[in-house]
Amino acid sequence: MSVKHETNFKLLHKTKNRARYFCDILKYDINIKNLENDLNSIAGVTSIRINEKSKSIVFGFENISLESLEGFLKDLDKSKYEVCDTFLSNNISCISEEKPSKAGMVRAFGALGAEPFIKDDKQKLALTTIASLPLLKHGVQDLFSEGLTSGVLESMAVGVSIARKDYLAANSTNAMLELGEYIEETTVHKSDDLIRELAKPNVKEIWIEQDNDGKKELVKIETSSVKIGDVVVVGAGDTIAIDGHIISGEASVNQVSMTGESEAVKKERGDRVISGTVVEEGRIKIWAEHVGEDTATARIKNYITTSLSEKSSVGLKATKLANKLVPVTLGLAGLSYVISRDFENVASVLQADYSCALKLATPVAFKTTIAQAGKNGIMIKGAKSIEALNEADTFVFDKTGTLTHGKLEVENIISFDEENWSEEDILNLTASAEEHYFHPVAEAIVNAAKSKGFVHMHHEEVEFIVAHGVKTVVNQKEVVIGSRHFLEDDEHIDFSQHEKQIEKCLLDGKTILYVGYDGKLLGTIGMRDTVRENAKAMIQKLKSMGVKKTVMLTGDIETKALKLADDLGIDKVYANMHPEDKANIIKELKSSGSKVAFIGDGINDAPALMSADVGISMSSGADIAKATADIGLLKDDIEAVSEAKELAQKTMKLINSNFNATVGINSCILLGATFGLFKPITTAILHNGTTIGLLANSMKGIRIN
């Protein structure tokens, strides 16, 4: 049994509407955001500021005493806010697996059904009181711990009916409340299905290839023991437990759990695979790039855990409004008694309040959207990200890897020794040296060679020089492949005779790989990144949804950048950009009043992703980009950006319509009950029916066109 930690606190400073407390709960590793959200929801608290360094909490407040605030601080339970382990399978207590109980509903409806057959009033009193006791007890506890809440009003309604000996009304009300609570709990429970699904135990054991005295052997080890660089072997029917690149074999991989793609995808040497996907056919060997808590599955679990517990600003407003409206309901109950002098009307008014629908419908709508987006290959890290994306009116795109595929394709090959080396020979030579590596240039070369009937050339061991290129030996002569700086400055190869041809390729916008052989420049391979086929349609869709401005950031020369922007329909271009300039552009746009969404994929995009109102990372992006983004795309599809925007807009529209319906319908019910138009059972049915209807509306899911 866990022991509850009693929070120690001390008043450091106070003014009329402000108080600062030292609070020892801040010494522990806790979820500050969740603590802040809970404190913000206290009736009477207008603002919260938590300083982790000084271990202090600053309250702004109205109409609440310091004693009440201190009561909340004293009852803070450290275990409630402890940070969950990233691998939820190791700490499943962070997720509630307990299913809603039917016991209260059975008890309440049992009493309602039995009451008409009991003639003795004392027996009716005993039966009704026992059936209603949990509700009455909860109301008393709420009154002393939280003040006037919806729970207090509900228990008062039943209590008034019991006092009037109207046992049918008391039991009917109790039964409707239990039914409503059960449906509400079931709704919330179902909205957490995605996190429960992802929290299932991971692959516990995997096969890796080990070298034993020069022989390759398969060894089964625990997944937690796998290391970066291990070669993992996965066969048909197995779930991939790591992220990495295929080094041999072919397979049909089902990625629906991670990208939403319904059909299996063919994967072969050089292709990247991610954890959580399943090999349907074939057998592959994977070089482990990300293991343990760094895998895609582990990161997604962590994101969803945070997102499901995060409270949105609109959710907090709804909670505060619900709490403020409780005294209104109580006041109307008093007015009803003044008008009619009938406690039945009082009991009827107390049935109807705004709290349930206001507090529950909003988070359920957010959770449903987050779950649905995850199934469609869009990982939204919290309700606040949905709010920010809904408000975004300016979309800023990095070019390479975002608007383009970030995947080079060989366009032309130039041989400077045509008598001895054809274009095909140069391609085969380069591919033979590069085939052991998985960077974009190497993949482009190997893919081009394979498409033309790759003939492997025998070579000695390949040396990889980071950020420069590769070196090897063919026919006892040195081969150097890489950047101009590598060949010309480091290897002292002469470029002077071929400057015009090289300059022409560069002006045409190509990326050039240089090939040297026996101390001479043998040739060049020109490559180009291709624009995503649906990028233009995505830009048009964003504009149709009210986006005011689209912007592209690129390091390309201005003429090339302007041509691409014109083709795609982008409004503004910033060319010749350095990585550090991107965040400054975002800040400039924000300072002009724009609500900015930034979409990028590289390491150098991280500052811009953090600076934007909402950051979106591409699926093939760098880990730091994915970590800093508010929304991560799990599928390599730029159209997912407009899908995410559409989800956000429709979610906020749904929440606003639910909010208006809650206030409007419950106001009508309250007024009708105040003037004696509804009996308690009628009010209970109308009120709980409204709440259940709004929850069902929140759970229906948002469809994207």
The SS3 assignment for 419 reads: coil
Is residue 616 a part of any domain in this protein? no
Instruction: Tell me the C-alpha distance between 131 and 122, whole Å.
Output: 14
265-294 confidence digits (pLDDT tens)? 888 888 888 887 888 888 999 998 888 766
Q: What token pair was written down for 125? A: 């009193």
> C-alpha angle with apex 149: 366 to 147, nearest 5 degrees?
130
Q: What pLDDT is attached to residue 86?
A: 31
In 402-428, which positions are buried (b, 16+ CB within 10 angstroms) versus exposed (e)?
A: bbbbbebebbebbbbeeeebeeebbbb
Q: What pLDDT is attached to residue 634?
A: 81
Domain end position, chosen among 290, 318, 350: 290
53-62 confidence digits (pLDDT tens)? 667 888 888 8
pLDDT band, residue 453 (cuts 50/70/90): very high
pLDDT beyond 50 at 629: yes
Domain end position, chosen among 530, 559, 594: 530
Give the closest residue to 540 by CA, choosing from 645, 630, 636, 647.
Answer: 645
pLDDT band, residue 319 (cuts 50/70/90): low
Is residue 266 a part of any domain in this protein? yes
Phi/psi at 531 (5° precision)? -75, 140
Instruction: Tell me the C-alpha distance between 129 and 161, whole Å.
Output: 11
Residue whose entry in the numeric block shows the structure tokens 């026992």: 130
Q: Are the CB atoms for 230 and 269 separated by under 8 Å? A: no
pLDDT beyond 70 at 631: yes
Amino acid letter for position 288: A
Give the closest residue to 129 by CA, choosing from 156, 172, 159.
Answer: 159
Q: Are the CB atoms for 156 and 130 separated by under 8 Å? A: no
String of DSSP letters for 229-271: T-EEEEETTPBP-SEEEEEEEEEEEE-HHHH--SS-EEE-TT-
> C-alpha angle with apex 509: 503 to 514, nearest 5 degrees?
55
Q: Are the CB atoms for 321 and 358 separated by under 8 Å? A: yes
Residues 284 and 324 grouped into a single domain: no
What is the CATH classification number for the domain harbouring 211? 2.70.150.10
End-to-end CA distance of the chain: 50
Cβ burial, residue 129 (10 Å; 0-12/13-18/19+): middle
Instruction: Tell me the C-alpha distance between 91 and 412, whole Å.
Output: 54
Residues 182 and 311 grouped into a single domain: yes
Those residues with Cβ within 8 angstroms of residue 603's Cβ, 6 or more apart along the chain or in another chain? 622, 624, 625
String of DSSP letters for 30-59: B-HHHHHHHHHTSTTEEEEEEETTTTEEEE
Q: Are the CB atoms for 524 and 510 separated by under 8 Å? A: no
Domain count, the chain: 4
Instruction: Tell me the C-alpha distance between 408 and 420, whole Å.
Output: 27
Q: What token pair was written down for 3? A: 């022991």
Those residues with Cβ within 8 angstroms of residue 256's Cβ, 6 or more apart along the chain or in another chain? 262
Angle of helix 167-191 relative to helix 355-375, nearest 10 degrees, comes to 20
pLDDT beyond 50 at 214: yes
Q: What pLDDT is attached to residue 452?
A: 92
Give the pLDDT mean for 687-693: 78
Q: What pLDDT is attached to residue 588?
A: 94
pLDDT band, residue 564 (cuts 50/70/90): confident
Q: What pLDDT is attached to residue 2?
A: 36
In order of 28, 84, 313, the CA distances from 303 in angstroms are 21, 11, 19
Instruction: Tell me the C-alpha distance between 453 and 438, whole Å.
Output: 20
Residues 503 and 415 grouped into a single domain: yes
Q: What pLDDT is attached to residue 603?
A: 61
Least confident of 322-331, 333-342, 498-507: 322-331
Amino acid letter for position 137: K
Write the DSSP symbol of residue 292. G
Residues 139 and 66 grouped into a single domain: no
Q: What pLDDT is attached to residue 90?
A: 33
Q: What pLDDT is attached to residue 630?
A: 86
Give the pLDDT mean for 674-693: 81
Instruction: Tell me the C-alpha distance between 320 and 300, whole Å.
Output: 31
Return the higher-pLDDT residue of 29 and 533: 533
Instruction: Tell me the C-alpha distance between 245 and 228, whole Å.
Output: 12
> C-alpha angle with apex 12: 9 to 14, nearest 5 degrees?
115
Q: What token pair was written down for 493? A: 């190869």
Domain housing 63: 9-78
Residues 308 and 187 grouped into a single domain: yes
Residue whose entry in the numeric block shows the structure tokens 């209970």: 684
**Which element (helix H / strand E) includes 410?**
strand 404-415
Phi/psi at 701 (5° precision)? 90, 155
Those residues with Cβ within 8 angstroms of residue 563's Cβ, 6 or more apart along the chain or in another chain? none
Is residue 478 a part of any domain in this protein? yes
Q: What token pair was written down for 490? A: 């480091």
Is residue 630 a part of any domain in this protein? no
Residues 324 and 417 grouped into a single domain: no
pLDDT beyond 60 at 679: yes
pLDDT above 70 covers a percentage of the chain that reads 82
> C-alpha angle with apex 549: 546 to 555, nearest 5 degrees?
145
Is residue 684 a part of any domain in this protein? yes
Residues 158 and 214 grouped into a single domain: no
Which sign, positive or negative, has the C-alpha torsion 435, 440, 446, 450?
positive
Residues 262 and 363 grouped into a single domain: no
Number of other CB atoms surrounding residue 1 within 10 Å: 3
What is the CATH classification number for the domain harbouring 416? 3.40.1110.10
The neighbouring-strand residues paired with 395 are 550, 597
Is residue 171 a part of any domain in this protein? yes
Return the higher-pLDDT residue of 54 and 75: 75
Q: What pLDDT is attached to residue 133?
A: 92
Is residue 692 a part of any domain in this protein? yes
pLDDT above 90 covers a percentage of the chain that reads 26
Q: Which of 269-273, 327-331, 345-349, 610-614 has the highest mean pLDDT?
A: 610-614
Least confident of 1-10, 331-340, 426-435, 465-474: 1-10
Residues 189 and 320 grouped into a single domain: yes
Residues 333 and 360 grouped into a single domain: yes
Residue whose entry in the numeric block shows the structure tokens 């806010």: 81
92-150 confidence digits (pLDDT tens)? 333 444 566 788 888 988 988 998 899 888 999 999 999 999 989 988 887 887 777 76
Domain end position, chosen among 479, 513, 530: 530
Q: Beta strand 378-380 with 631-633: parallel, antiparallel or unpaired? A: antiparallel
Which sign, positive or negative, has the C-alpha torsion 140, 146, 147, 151?
negative
Mean per-residue pLDDT of the chain:
81
pLDDT band, residue 190 (cuts 50/70/90): low
Residues 526 and 438 grouped into a single domain: yes
Residues 116 and 228 grouped into a single domain: no
**Which element (helix H / strand E) includes 512?**
strand 511-517
> C-alpha angle with apex 302: 296 to 303, nearest 5 degrees?
85
Q: Which of 162-171, 194-203, 524-533, 602-611 has the highest mean pLDDT?
A: 524-533
Residue whose entry in the numeric block shows the structure tokens 């299913």: 99
Q: Are the CB atoms for 34 and 309 separated by under 8 Å? A: yes
Q: Which of 161-175, 365-379, 629-643, 674-688 has the highest mean pLDDT?
A: 629-643
Is residue 95 a part of any domain in this protein? no
pLDDT beyond 90 at 548: yes
The neighbouring-strand residues paired with 514 are 482, 524
